[in-house]
Structure 1
Amino acid sequence: MRYMKILFLPAALVLFFCTTVRSQDVPYITGTVVDTEGDPLIGANILVTDLGRGAVTDVDGNFRINKLEDAEYDLRVSMIGYATKVVRDVLASSTPDPLKIVLEEKAVEMEEIEVVGDALRRPQEDTRVSVQKMVPWEAKFLPGAAEDVMRSLQALPGVLSPNDFSSQLIIRGSGPDQNLIVMDHIEVFNPYRLYGVVSMFNPETVSDISLLTGGFPAKYGDRLSAVLDISNRDGRSKKDFYMNLNTSLTNANLVLEGDSPLNLPGSWLVSMRRTYYDLIVGPFARSAGLVDGNVSFPNFGDVQTRLNVSPWEGHKFFVTGVTSRDGVDVTTSSSAEDPDSVSVYNTTFNHVLGTGWTYAPSDDMLNTVVFSYYNNNGISEFDGRFLDPVLDEREWEGTADSIKALARFFDVSVDGDFVLEKYSLSNEFVYHLGTHDVEAGFGWTYIDAGISFDIRIGDDLKEIIEANPRSRALTEPTIQLQQYHKFHGYLQDRIELIPNRFYLQPGLRYDYYTGIQKGYLSPRINASYAVDPSTTVRAAFGVYYQSPGYEKLFDNRQFLDFSEPYLTALRAENALHYILGVERWLDNRWLAKVDLYYKDFDDLVTRDIRPGFKWTSAHQTGTDLRDPANWADPFLVASDTITDKPINGSFGEAYGIELMLEKRNTERSDKFSGWISYALAWAQRYEEGVVIPFNFDQRHTINIVGNYKINSWLEAGARWRLGT
């Protein structure tokens, strides 16, 4: 039945695309809001006073108000810190002249300024379902989130974390490796710092945070569960130079930005972060006797840059770059040669470089081309010398010397390194045509991955391990290399079937993975229905595929052998999403949301289990375990072996309901904001006829988040979470 649905939907989508829908020239108003120096204003509110609705300017100061009559309207333009301006008798038409509205700065006063076009209030024509939006200041000030974007998202319904110290996201019964993470049109892997405690995203430079927990459209692919789409802001261009420094007991965050030095419209931004646990906490812990030996606590530093210029009207070029380093160097005693000592060294680097060009030949058309490079590499060293904890000379008197010699010391050393390189080229095209919003795109990705590790074991322990055929591979060096290409193309069209009420977005995506030498077609469909101006019902169905690859293993924290012939024998993992959501604004401040979802997973990649035998023995009950005479002769018993060979050996499901009530600040006089959410969820996997609960299956989850603005410079917040 599952595959009948998959086969039926492409046919249905073909009918949608082949059906001729009459394009209407719907009047609209468009323009740009700038300050007195000509710099675009982000988040300015434009209200059509006659209709009580409007729009919010984007990152370039542009706005567009659709679905108007062929008539004249008055616009009220406002933004905190600027004098409100009324523009009268603006003509809406199918080919309007773009407006340029200039706002003048003024001292911020305490009167109420109503934010009618709330940037977080999604338009009803947005067909995406299960979208969670978060503004950067929420990520920065959310209690318990360590000023981190991804840890802040863990306070939303349907989102969990592996543990209290991880910024990884467990979303609706899926692992972190099944989430697509995009920054400025660039897919990034392993976006974690401090070994997973925080993420790479700087809340001081982020402009938009969108989390799609399911049912995402065809422009996103190669992941089964969810999408996190992050946009970084451009630098401020009013002056040549700005500086902002934030410090705390454990880290510092410096942001430099200013006008473009090229005498062209544009700006630049550089941010630098550094933790100093190792510089402050380390010496304190040693002096207080909390640790022994030469301990360097984990630390990281990163530099992010963004440059944009607009040399010609309608053209914008940008460059985004990130480089970071994580490090740790720990020895648990004064010398690595001491018994029961452990020495750990690790250095990890992340580098991202992307350059893009956006071209808008008209208000109805936008094309974006992005080329990017990504590199993640690291070196790890581990040395340990362990004294058998059960060995006590007083208790072991009379024990055979051969056993005492084996049990006394075990020496283990591990050297490992990895490198993951990615080159990507993509093109995205958006075209507004009457009642249609068409999006299309294609792209290419090349991945070069390598993993190696060498476990060196002392002679005594090595003899024991190599005597067991199931463990013999541990003593052999491992090197895995993988190079493959990924190609994709997509087409989606949002159609206004009933004016101002019903919108449908069919989409189709094709992916080809050279690693497994297979291609897949993914039909998807989203719908939005406006019950009334305050209530929207949305629904989605989609087919999703995820290719196997080493870049996903970093999130999954496991090793699989993707060498030949194992890789080409695999199929891409796949999932079906069924989602229904209702969103209602109770008033201008309170939002209520309900989401129901069901995800059906198939062809999940797991480790192959092979039947075999092992040698074992038994001792006489009530006798001394240390006396070899009390043990029977070894004999064979059946024993399965879990290998690192990957197979499509599992399937599963995740389903549940999520409720959320949110209070937003929409006026300057508002003091309180926050939300309360409840999620009821089930997630499980099936292997070899056995039901296996998902590792992070959590039945009930309650989140309560509150912030109260005490005055202009002081705000208090609290967060409470219950999971069972």
Structure 2
Amino acid sequence: MSFLGFSQSGTLKGVILDDTKTPIPNVNIKAGENGTATNENGFFIIKIPADQEVVVSFTHLAYKSITATFNLKNGEEYEFHPIMNESVEQISTVVINSKERDDVEGIISLNPETIRLIPGANNGIENLLKTLPGVSGNNELSTQYSVRGGNYDENLVYVNGIEIYRPFLIRSGQQEGLSFVNPDLVQNVDFSAGGFQAKYGDKLASVLDITYRKPYQFGASLELSLLGGSLAVEAISKDSKLSGILGIRYRDNSLFVNAKETESNYEPSYADVQTQINYSFSDKLIVSFLGNASINKYNYEPQTRQTNFGTLENPLALLVFYEGQEKDKYETLFGAIKASYLLNDDLTLNFVVSTYHTTEEEYFDILAQYRLGEVNSNIGSEELGEVEFSEGIGGQLNHGRNDLDALITNVEQSGKYTVENNDFEWSIKYTNENIRDRLIEWEMIDSAGFTVNPPYSDNFNNQPYSPYEGPLVAFENVSAKNETTIQRYQAYLQWSKRTTIGDNEVWFNVGARSHTWTVSGEGIETTTQTVVSPRAQFAIKPNWKKDMLFRIGGGMYYQPPFYRELRDSSGTINPDVKAQKSFQVVIGNDYSFKMWDRPFKLTTEAYYKNMTDVNPYTLENVRIRYAADNNATAYAYGLDLRLNGEFVPGTESWFSFGYLKTEENIDNKGYIARPTDQRLKFAALFQDYVPSLPKMKMYLNLVYNTGLPGGSPSYADPYVYQNRLPDYKRADVGLQYVIVDYNETHNGWRKPFKYLTVGFEIFNVFDTQNSITNTWVRDVYSKRQYAIPNYLSPRVFNIKTSMKF
């Protein structure tokens, strides 16, 4: 039986083997007066007090005992796999403290259990990331996020050391469906917001490094809610050589979309299957397979919409009547095989082969006929809120037939060699990207019965204010067909060392990576470019009474263009696009202290980025369109603060604050705000429980972001028209009652459950009207253009239950 009653605790688990790598059952594990024993597969799990040194002993009649000291942080899970010997006494006096590596590298570690519990419209790892300083997201239905002024394409995501890709054609958050990362399978989550090591790839903003867990016993979990459900099953063979975990998810966002002001027939279908299988051929060779199959379908048939705006003195409304529909489909297949060979205690070799295939379709024909008018504001009138006088009428027809087929293959060899406290890591990687793309989009706009030509053309018509006799063209028209191949050769080498200077602990990391890529294709002139990125980090922990850690990191960071960055707004491929370059410096401090006899930590980071060869882009909802030209320079600087700790005993909560300023200079016209210039950010993640009813738990997710530059007409020159969206404000609350908790025993119907909860969630508690874009409509009388906000989801209620077997 594991520990019960600790207000703050970490979890120690693992498999105990003998010298022939055979699991040992019935090993006694003791920590103080409490303990547990291994099962038939040699597996154990035990909770120990957090933030203090705890001595744990492992004993068995047939083997020599092992003693080890652990110091885990609250909520941390640590794996310990000792080998028990029959004849040689084993002694272990090293204090195992896994959080030190993350601290010196400036990495934030997130508890997977917190990810699953915190409420959010898109429940997953990205939902939790948006509560961290420097991380922004203004669309709760999207898993996309920007970090310290970077856009959505500037973030690296790894699962088990394998880079993960996102769909290409997604333009709206409600189309995205499921994130690749399945929270039910996650063991560790590490996140770095900048200044990361050379071992991570060539992006400018951040790294999300996920590790899926390896099973040590049979287990299953199930979660059901009005938004869908998920099932995870894990198992291990009797000889412990073969283990696997399987996750199945289904998501339905109609609960959010049907609550919006646009009435529609909406049929979403988001589902995926994901698995990790591990096989130990020996104690030196382990081979694993990571696979994912995802199908996201988005069928949308809008009917009517009414948006009220304006002022109390002049209330206005936009009424829209729709015809047509949109049918989108995104199918992805991903597979990776990884072999790890432990040559000896100092040298580990890895070999990875992975393939990512996506086929994406966007088909839509939607006719929108609108009326812009004055609203009846007479409280005593039976027609209160109705449009009684039209100031503008018109229509808009959108057509699209977009198809994309991408096949990306990676082959990589990496390794790690340790000698006298020096760690050397390296990698050589080859990538082949084959992308076939067809874009056919056009938009016709009618205002007061007159077709409107694009305002940036030489034939712009100003009807009905003045007659026009020239040719009529589509307001927007894109037609392109591309077949592009990109071959990449990447390599890195880095060295790190932990040592002391006087009484102070110090840590060094120096490395560099190179990236060579060749762009070719039908009708494209073949081009080859190379960049080299040197990076370094340094951390020092002074021998002070106060627990302080200082670090600095940075270097040159390049982002060689991916396919989307090579394609301009007309769909034309420019193979000569250079890698965007960023010189970064990040200075940080961690101050760990105790308040109310509970642990807390204040993390402060200041950063500066100087960017050249910048590829400008526009951002609409989550759709990014590049200029495919390195015709800009930019900068970003800011300050991030995060205070986390046990504000309530036994639970971890945090408060985040971020200040950011980022601007760009396009064609030497002067500096203006970038599309991601989110000046202020405040977020809070708070966990609590009812003192008189500790099994009733509360979770609060609070985010406030100042408005982004955006909402301008798509044709507007940003140097002439700079507009900011309203501030983004959102609060999500979840209440959960624990019927069966871990390490509890029950009879009757509760006996099969290891864990069982029921609860409900309130999304957007204060029913705040957040907007992500604007619809622009002309008034035929005053010749004004009105920005009608496109609102995100209102207040929504959800019910869910979670269980583990």
Counterparts of 1:462 and 1:582, CA distance in 2: 61
Measure how far apart 1:346 and its partner are.
Answer: 0.5
Secondary structure of the equivalent of 2:616? strand
Task: Tell me the matched-pair count.
Answer: 580
Counterparts of 1:562 and 1:98, CA distance in 2: 70
Alpha-carbon contact 1:211-1:226 (below 8 Å) kept? yes
Measure how far apart 1:277 and its partner are.
Answer: 4.7
Counterparts of 1:173 and 1:149, CA distance in 2: 20
Alpha-carbon contact 2:69-2:96 (below 8 Å) kept? no
Counterparts of 2:177 and 2:369, CA distance in 1: 32
Alpha-carbon contact 2:122-2:142 (below 8 Å) kept? no
Residue 75 to residue 573, structure 1, CA distance change in 2 (3 Å): same
**1:618-671 C-alpha deviation (Å, 9 max, x unpaired):** xxxxxxxxxxxxxxxxxxxxxxxxx97621111111111112211059xxx933
Counterparts of 1:422 and 1:511, CA distance in 2: 17
Measure how far apart 1:441 and its partner are.
Answer: 1.1
Residue 685 to residue 291, structure 1, CA distance change in 2 (3 Å): closer
1:600 aligns with 2:610: yes
Measure how far apart 1:562 and its partner are.
Answer: 5.6
After TM superposition, list the pairs within 5 Å mapping 1:54-73 onto structure 2: none
Counterparts of 1:81 and 1:188, CA distance in 2: 25
Counterparts of 1:527 and 1:480, CA distance in 2: 45
Secondary structure of the equivalent of 2:100? coil
Alpha-carbon contact 1:44-1:56 (below 8 Å) kept? no
Counterparts of 1:694 and 1:302, CA distance in 2: 35
Residue 48 to residue 693, structure 1, CA distance change in 2 (3 Å): closer
Aligned residue in 1 for 2:228: 251
Letter paired with 1:524: R
Secondary structure of the equivalent of 1:682? strand
Measure how far apart 1:454 and its partner are.
Answer: 2.1
Structure 2: which 5+ runs fail to align?
A: 1-13, 18-37, 59-64, 305-319, 374-392, 461-472, 520-526, 619-624, 707-805
Counterparts of 1:48 and 1:146, CA distance in 2: 32
Greater fraction of residues in strand: 2
Measure how far apart 1:169 and its partner are.
Answer: 1.3
1:441 aligns with 2:441: no
Aligned residue in 1 for 2:554: 541
After TM superposition, list the pairs within 5 Å mapping 1:604-683 onto structure 2: 604-606=614-616, 646-664=628-646, 670-683=649-662
Residue 453 to residue 54, structure 1, CA distance change in 2 (3 Å): farther
Secondary structure of the equivalent of 1:517? strand
Aligned residue in 2 for 1:75: 68
**1:69-125 C-alpha deviation (Å, 9 max, x unpaired):** xxx99534699999xx9x9x99xxxxxx99699xxxxxxxxxxxxxx9665x3348x
Measure how far apart 1:53 and its partner are.
Answer: 8.6
Letter paired with 2:343: P
Measure how far apart 1:544 and its partner are.
Answer: 0.8
Residue 155 to residue 146, structure 1, CA distance change in 2 (3 Å): same
1:493 to 473, 480, 495: 495
1:714 aligns with 2:696: yes
1:480 to 451, 464, 482: 482
Aligned residue in 2 for 1:325: 295
1:122 aligns with 2:92: no
Measure how far apart 1:350 and its partner are.
Answer: 1.9
Measure how far apart 1:209 and its partner are.
Answer: 1.1
Letter paired with 2:197: P
Aligned residue in 2 for 1:575: 582
**1:201-242 C-alpha deviation (Å, 9 max, x unpaired):** 2211111111111111111122111111111112x3424xx3
2:128 to 141, 152, 166: 152
Residue 525 to residue 383, structure 1, CA distance change in 2 (3 Å): same
Counterparts of 1:505 and 1:134, CA distance in 2: 23
Greater fraction of residues in helix: 1
Counterparts of 2:569 and 2:394, CA distance in 1: 31
Aligned residue in 2 for 1:199: 179
1:517 aligns with 2:507: no
**1:344-364 C-alpha deviation (Å, 9 max, x unpaired):** 111111221111001112222
Residue 423 to residue 715, structure 1, CA distance change in 2 (3 Å): same
Residue 656 to residue 493, structure 1, CA distance change in 2 (3 Å): same
1:686 aligns with 2:665: yes
Alpha-carbon contact 1:47-1:117 (below 8 Å) kept? no
**1:335-393 C-alpha deviation (Å, 9 max, x unpaired):** xxx984131111111221111001112222222111100112211111133547589xx
Counterparts of 2:76 and 2:678, CA distance in 1: 45
Aligned residue in 2 for 1:377: 359
Measure how far apart 1:510 and its partner are.
Answer: 1.0
Alpha-carbon contact 1:545-1:575 (below 8 Å) kept? yes
Letter paired with 2:487: H
Residue 264 to residue 505, structure 1, CA distance change in 2 (3 Å): same
2:115 to 134, 139, 145: 139
2:510 to 500, 506, 510: 506
Structure 1: which 5+ runs fail to align?
A: 1-30, 58-71, 91-96, 102-115, 392-406, 609-642
Residue 289 to residue 162, structure 1, CA distance change in 2 (3 Å): closer
Aligned residue in 1 for 2:199: 219
Counterparts of 1:671 and 1:149, CA distance in 2: 22
Secondary structure of the equivalent of 1:714? strand
Alpha-carbon contact 1:46-1:55 (below 8 Å) kept? no
Letter paired with 2:266: S
1:531 aligns with 2:531: no
**1:461-480 C-alpha deviation (Å, 9 max, x unpaired):** 99975996796795563112
Deviates more, 1:703-712 or 1:215-224: 703-712
Letter paired with 2:165: F
Measure how far apart 1:36 and its partner are.
Answer: 3.9
Measure how far apart 1:455 and its partner are.
Answer: 3.5
Residue 581 to residue 73, structure 1, CA distance change in 2 (3 Å): farther
Counterparts of 1:203 and 1:540, CA distance in 2: 30
**1:493-539 C-alpha deviation (Å, 9 max, x unpaired):** 11235366122111111111112411111111111111137321111
Residue 648 to residue 313, structure 1, CA distance change in 2 (3 Å): same
Letter paired with 2:228: N
Letter paired with 1:37: E
Alpha-carbon contact 1:512-1:520 (below 8 Å) kept? yes
Aligned residue in 1 for 2:599: 589
**1:165-192 C-alpha deviation (Å, 9 max, x unpaired):** 3221111111111111112222122169
Q: How much identity, in percent, do the aligned residues show?
A: 19
Counterparts of 1:714 and 1:585, CA distance in 2: 30
After TM superposition, list the pairs within 5 Å mapping 1:246-325 onto structure 2: 246-260=223-237, 265-277=241-253, 295-325=265-295
Q: What TM-score do you get using the length of structure 1 for normalisation?
A: 0.71
Alpha-carbon contact 1:271-1:305 (below 8 Å) kept? yes
Alpha-carbon contact 2:607-2:637 (below 8 Å) kept? yes
Alpha-carbon contact 2:335-2:356 (below 8 Å) kept? yes
Aligned residue in 2 for 1:414: 400
Measure how far apart 1:254 and its partner are.
Answer: 0.8
Secondary structure of the equivalent of 2:184? coil
Residue 525 to residue 709, structure 1, CA distance change in 2 (3 Å): same
Residue 151 to residue 259, structure 1, CA distance change in 2 (3 Å): same
Secondary structure of the equivalent of 2:182? coil
